[in-house]
Amino acid sequence: MAAASMLLLVATLVVSHGVDAFDPNPLQDFCVADTESEVHVNGVPCKDPATVVPEDFFFAGADKPGGTASRRYGYSSLPVRIPGLNTLGVSHARVDVAPGGVFPPHYHPRASETALVLEGSSVYFGFLDSGNRLFAKVLRKGDVFAVPQGLVHFLLNNGTAPAVLYATLSSQNPGMVLLADALFAPATPVPEELLARTLLTDRQTVEEIRANFKRRSLSSGFLMAGPGGESHAS
């Protein structure tokens, strides 16, 4: 009995120690990304604090469109890369959407999102929950819309002028999966029979849709994963 009690005590201490040791919060005031480091870690190594300068917490150029653009969907996204945000669990981007353009259904597996409309008069923005309920609003300049982590969301610019949004995500590396691209334009094709059965259609229709993705070349990217992190193209 004494031996069993001792084993239980040891197991409890080990588990408790493991829980206490997990600390996702920063352990210093800042950890400015050292993008030139060759050290491989889960994130980006820190610069020597003695070499940190004000520019490490600054980004110029978010007042203009930029970054990479999707000709297929009619949007562009400009990652706001601020080295001083390394390890702080946040990333930002400016998103421009042409009249009639869309940011198609997608999700961020590791982040929630908050989007502020800087310009625009009719931006249809929404998400779907795990019960397939739609939550959507028509947004105008000054409006803010939030998307919980991992849920499919989208936007459509129904206005006659370009729309501009500023997106903030709750992860340095939010990730992004564009649903249509994942199904019809992956590096390794999804079997046509599977897509046809899933979409309640036939293989010829699947082939035609897949051909559209191949014909319409594009370049796009969205939401950097923080300083030195991954970005996604589609």
pLDDT, tens only, 85-111: 999 999 999 999 999 999 999 999 999
pLDDT digits (tens, 9 = 90+) for 148-177: 999 999 999 999 999 999 999 999 999 999
User: Is the separation of the CB atoms in 150 and 113 below 8 Å?
Assistant: no
Give the pTM: 0.81
> The tokens of 206 are what?
């699947």
Range list of β-strands (E), 140-228: 144-147, 152-157, 163-169, 177-178
Which tokens in the block code for residue 200? 């309640």
Residue 161 structure tokens: 């002028």
Is 216 a residue whose pLDDT tops 90? no
